[in-house]
């Protein structure tokens, strides 16, 4: 079947096709190859052809890679069958079925999928208009809700519930306080979409599930057609996607093969639930199937594998990695000491880190045969952007990837950051992080040396209400301060679109982007943002705070169809990306940036946990003496536990991207004691293990 010999576990996973299989695939274990070999074995057995195989992947990129690998192994006749094969994403599969059965699904034949921006604008409009119509119509439930909660608070917390409306509607253990408004908003949102023949991405899954649920004949046809169902990256599925797989899986008439690694489930913010993987494994076993573990790692050096196993051994049900290659001629783990005589602020610490990396980059580039073999991985988008600007200013070529598509582009982030700065420039405690990011961005291209000079030109004040030094210096002593004040005043007299347009024009932003990006893509993205903001303003009146709230939600939520993870590039540039974007890829050297970062994400005040229920934190937002409700506290405990577990899994993903060398910036005298995962911050948890690794080495 293959010139390269499969390991015994790989061979079992590829050849056991007469029953269902759950494959637990460790990082770097060659799961894509196993999927290809399994498809080939099914075809060679003569029991099914490509028409009888459904292979669902998490991204279009993964689906395309599977097609390409299969194409190289199939005969010319079979390659033609690949064109119609069901090797696709969940959304691609749903789109095809719904288009074929639009009348049965009660959908217009010409429906299209709304863009992220369109869906968000319609969703917010549906919520706001539903509240206002309820107030105008003297709806007691909505009036009572508005007496207890601020208008913007209701809009903010209702949006995530509508985005996960299938799970919310399935839930029977919820606080019914918001049910009347939820139902009104959902109906309004549906009406707005129907008028434009639109579905959002969540609708694709909902309508497919409903079609299968309401039309047994159609479901039965697909159950018979797909004798072999395979789902890749199953740890990243959500409950609705799992329900669709369960509808299609009818043992012993067909088999199910799920592939995934619970340790790499990091898309909870996209409604992925790692419990779906374990639940489906149980069903496979109950149906007479088996679980196969792929423990071997073909990617990383034994040193990196040993370090990862030591750090992550406390993760639930941890399956240790087994190194399958030899050591390289470079040290596997490099703790990079960041020197600082005083205790730095968070922003100063990040600047010191990137400056130290810049000093060491020439040697790293030489050791790893070029900059494109080096990846800097980040937990947060803000730190990524700061590093990008500093590296670019120092003359290093960079290539930025992210997991959030359009909203993660640096040229878009820069403008959103500028809007934040302008809106909050006269706050008592302005955000210096946003101000710093804006100053060193292409909007102004101010050097780090000038930033330090401005920062320290202001005398220290004993007044606790005095603005931060950099903010005070910029506002009082620079042309940038005059520009910020002018635009801040314009917020009250101009639309957000007009303010944004003024930012772009007054800084010659498009010209700057075109000078550094000959392709014109960055400038085109900025023009696209301007059009989107203009459309949002046309749908309904929007203030600057409202607009920022929508844009930040779009950015933080990511695209509904997950973007392809970063693909290896052949340009001569250092790779910068979030850890989410790095998943599925590998690099000779990985720099794990800003490990001292401590997330402070608290459970939302309106908290919904699928399968557990819904609760509101306070009975009255306007009561200054309010305390959390018992029901909310119970859900919040689970929420915090799930968040901490995912942070551990995110670290595991980051550590396992490195092939030959893992570089971790270390801040002496700022480390905590050894503690099992999940840590308060990664730096304090890793330092003791780094010391142990050095001794072992």
Identify whether the C-beta of residue 483 lies closer than 8 Å to the C-beta of residue 506. Answer: yes
Asked if residue 232 is part of any domain, the answer here is yes
Q: Which domain holds residue 176?
A: 112-196
The answer to the question of residue 313 being in a domain is yes
Q: Which of 37-41, 162-166, 194-198, 675-679 has the lowest mean pLDDT?
A: 675-679
Q: pLDDT tens digits for 238-260?
A: 999 999 999 999 999 999 999 99
Among 29, 11, 567, smallest CA distance to 300 is for 29
- Judge whether residue 528 has pLDDT over 90: no
Is residue 148, in this structure, part of any structural domain at all?
yes
Number of domains in the chain: 4
- Residues 159-168, mean pLDDT to the nearest whole number: 94
DSSP per residue, 7-68: PHHHHHHHH--SS-EEEEE-TTS-HHHHHHHHHHHHHHHTS--GGGEEEEESSHHHHHHHHH
Task: Examine residue 480 and state whether it is found in any structural domain, yes or no.
Answer: yes
Identify whether 3 is part of a domain. no
Q: In this structure, what token pair is assigned to residue 304?
A: 């990196």
Quote the DSSP letter at residue 671.
-
Say if residues 528 and 550 touch (Cβ distance below 8 Å).
no
In this prediction, residue 675 carries a pLDDT of 47
Phi, psi torsion values for 309, nearest 5 degrees: -60, -40
Looking at the fold, whether 216 and 71 belong to one and the same domain comes out as yes
**400-432: per-residue pLDDT in tens?**
875 456 776 788 889 999 999 999 887 777 777
Maximal C-alpha separation, the chain = 81
Could you tell me if residue 541 is inside a domain?
yes
Per residue in 40-81, pLDDT (tens digit) is 999 999 999 999 999 999 888 899 999 999 999 998 888 888
Tens of pLDDT, residue by residue over 495-508, are 899 999 999 999 99
At 1 the pLDDT is: 36
Q: What are 551-600's pLDDT values in tens digits?
A: 876 665 544 333 334 444 446 899 999 899 899 899 999 999 999 998 87
Q: Are 210 and 82 within one domain? A: yes
pLDDT value of position 620: 66
Tell me: pLDDT of 173 over 80: no
50 CB burial (10 A radius; 0-12, 13-18, 19+): buried
Q: What is the DSSP code (8-state) at residue 599? A: -
User: What are the pLDDT digits (tens) for 142-155?
Assistant: 888 888 888 888 98
Check which CATH number belongs to the domain holding 648 and give it: 3.40.50.300
Query: Confidence class of residue 335 from pLDDT cuts 50, 70 and 90?
Result: very high
**pLDDT band at residue 445 under the 50/70/90 scheme:** confident
What is the per-residue pLDDT across 603-626, written as a single tens digit (0 to 9) for each?
988 999 888 889 988 766 556 567
The span from the CA of 347 to the CA of 88, in Å, is 43
User: Is the separation of the CB atoms in 162 and 184 below 8 Å?
Assistant: no
Could you tell me if 93 and 232 are in contact, meaning their C-beta atoms sit under 8 angstroms apart? no
pLDDT digits (tens, 9 = 90+) for 280-301: 999 999 999 999 999 999 999 9
Lowest mean pLDDT among 204-213, 339-348, 382-391, 589-598: 339-348
Same domain, 313 and 248: no
What is the per-residue pLDDT for 686? 92
101: confidence class by pLDDT, cuts 50, 70, 90? very high
More confident residue, 601 or 636: 636
At residue 569, the pLDDT reads 45
Q: How many CA atoms lie within 13 A of 346 on its CB side?
A: 15
DSSP-derived letter for residue 611 is T
For residues 481-504, give the mean pLDDT: 91
Say if CB 276 and CB 237 are below 8 A apart. yes
**Banded pLDDT at 677 (limits 50, 70, 90):** very low
Same domain for 303 and 288: no
Domain boundary among 557, 586, 621: 557
Provide the pLDDT for residue 567: 43
Q: List, in sequence order, every residue forming a beta bridge with 54; answer none if it has no partner.
A: 86, 229
**pLDDT single digits (tens) 537-556:** 766 677 888 888 878 766 65
Across the chain, mean pLDDT equals 86
Alpha helices in 517-666 (DSSP H): 521-539, 544-557, 579-582, 630-655
Same domain for 525 and 416: yes
Does pLDDT of 269 surpass 90? no
Examine the domain organization and report whether 525 and 659 are in the same domain.
no
**Which one of 196, 213, 236 terminates a domain?**
196
CA-to-CA distance for 560 and 564, rounded, in angstroms? 12
Residue at which a domain ends, from 276, 296, 316: 296
Radius of gyration, CA atoms only, the chain: 26
Same domain, 553 and 443: yes
Please state the pTM of the whole predicted model: 0.81
Residue 1 maps to a domain: no
Same domain, 291 and 304: no
Q: Which residue has the higher pLDDT, 576 or 116?
A: 576
Residue 649 domain flag = yes
Whether 440 and 454 map to the same domain: the answer is yes
The reported pLDDT for the residue numbered 682 is: 93
* HEC secondary structure over 348-389: HHHHHHHHHHHHHHHHHHHHCCCHHHEEEEECCHHHHHHHHH
**Same domain? 182 vs 283:** no
Band of the pLDDT at 457, cuts 50, 70, 90?
Answer: low
Cα–Cα distances in angstroms (integers) from residue 246 to residues 124, 209, 309, 503, 593, in the given order: 33, 10, 34, 51, 40
Residue 629 clears pLDDT 60, i.e. is over it: yes
Residue 486 tokens read as: 């002018």
Q: Quick one: 588 and 528 in the same domain?
A: no
CATH for 451: 1.10.486.10
459 and 553 housed in the same domain: yes
**Does the structure show a pLDDT above 70 at 650?**
yes
């Amino acid at each position: 079947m293959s010139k390269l010999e499969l390991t015994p576990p790989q061979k079992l996973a590829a050849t056991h096709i007469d029953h269902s299989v759950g494959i637990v695939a460790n990082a770097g274990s060659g799961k894509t190859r196993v999927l290809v070999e399994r498809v080939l074995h099914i075809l060679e057995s003569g029991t099914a052809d490509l028409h009888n195989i459904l292979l669902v992947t998490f991204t279009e990129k993964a689906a395309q890679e599977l097609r390409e690998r299969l194409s190289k192994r199939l005969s010319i006749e079979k390659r033609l069958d690949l064109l119609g094969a069901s090797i696709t994403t969940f959304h691609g599969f749903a789109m095809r079925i719904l288009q074929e059965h639009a009348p049965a699904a009660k959908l217009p034949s010409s429906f299209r999928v709304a863009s992220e921006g369109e869906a968000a604008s319609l969703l917010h409009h549906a919520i706001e208009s539903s509240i206002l119509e309820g107030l105008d119509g003297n709806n007691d439930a909505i009036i009572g809700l508005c007496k207890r909660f601020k208008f913007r608070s209701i809009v903010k917390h209702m949006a995530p519930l509508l985005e996960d409306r299938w799970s919310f509607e399935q839930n029977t253990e919820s606080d019914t306080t918001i049910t009347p408004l939820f139902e009104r908003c959902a109906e309004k949102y549906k009406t707005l979409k129907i008028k434009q023949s639109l579905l959002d991405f969540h609708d694709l899954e909902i309508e497919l599930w409903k079609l299968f649920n309401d039309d047994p004949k159609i479901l039965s046809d697909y159950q018979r057609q797909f004798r072999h169902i395979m789902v890749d990256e199953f740890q990243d599925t959500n409950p609705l996607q799992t329900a669709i797989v369960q509808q299609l899986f009818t043992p012993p008439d067909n088999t199910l093969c799920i592939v995934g690694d619970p340790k790499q489930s990091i898309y909870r913010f996209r409604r992925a639930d790692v419990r779906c993987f374990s639940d489906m494994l149980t069903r496979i076993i109950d149906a007479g199937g088996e679980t196969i573990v792929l423990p071997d790692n073909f990617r990383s050096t034994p040193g990196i594998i040993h370090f990862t196993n030591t750090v992550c051994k406390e993760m639930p049900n941890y399956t240790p990695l087994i190194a399958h290659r030899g050591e390289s001629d470079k040290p596997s783990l490099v703790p990079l000491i960041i020197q600082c005589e005083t205790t730095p602020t968070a922003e100063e610490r990040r600047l010191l880190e990137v400056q130290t990396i810049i000093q060491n980059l020439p040697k790293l580039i030489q050791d790893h045969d070029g900059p494109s073999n080096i990846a800097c991985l980040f937990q947060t988008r803000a730190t990524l952007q700061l590093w990008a600007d500093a590296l670019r200013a120092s003359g290093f070529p960079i290539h930025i990837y992210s997991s959030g598509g359009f909203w993660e582009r640096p040229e878009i982030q820069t403008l959103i950051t500028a809007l934040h700065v302008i809106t909050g420039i006269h706050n008592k405690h302005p955000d210096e992080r946003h101000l710093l990011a804006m100053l060193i961005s292409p909007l102004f291209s101010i050097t780090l040396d000038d930033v330090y000079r401005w920062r320290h030109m202001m005398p220290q004040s004993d007044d606790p209400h005095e603005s931060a030094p950099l903010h005070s210096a910029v506002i009082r002593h620079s042309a940038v301060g005059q520009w910020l004040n002018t635009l801040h005043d314009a917020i009250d007299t101009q639309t957000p679109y007009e303010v944004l347009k003024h930012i772009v024009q007054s800084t010659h932003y498009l010209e700057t982007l075109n000078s550094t990006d000959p392709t014109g893509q960055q400038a085109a993205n900025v023009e696209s943002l301007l059009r989107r903001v203009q459309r949002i303003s046309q749908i309904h009146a929007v203030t600057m705070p409202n607009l920022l709230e929508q844009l930040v939600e779009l950015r933080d939520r990511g695209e509904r169809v997950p973007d392809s993870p970063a693909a290896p590039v052949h340009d001569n540039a250092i790779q910068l990306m979030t850890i989410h974007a790095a998943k599925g890829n590998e690099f000779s050297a990985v720099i794990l940036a800003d490990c001292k970062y401590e997330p402070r994400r608290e459970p939302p005040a309106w908290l919904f946990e699928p399968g557990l229920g819904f609760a509101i934190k306070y009975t009255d937002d306007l009561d200054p003496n309010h305390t959390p409700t018992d029901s909310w506290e119970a859900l919040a405990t689970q929420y915090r536990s799930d968040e901490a577990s995912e942070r551990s899994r995110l670290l595991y993903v980051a550590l396992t991207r490195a092939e030959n060398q893992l570089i971790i910036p270390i801040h002496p005298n700022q480390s905590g004691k050894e503690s099992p995962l999940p840590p308060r911050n990664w730096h304090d948890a890793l330092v003791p293990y780094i010391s142990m690794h050095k001794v072992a080495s």
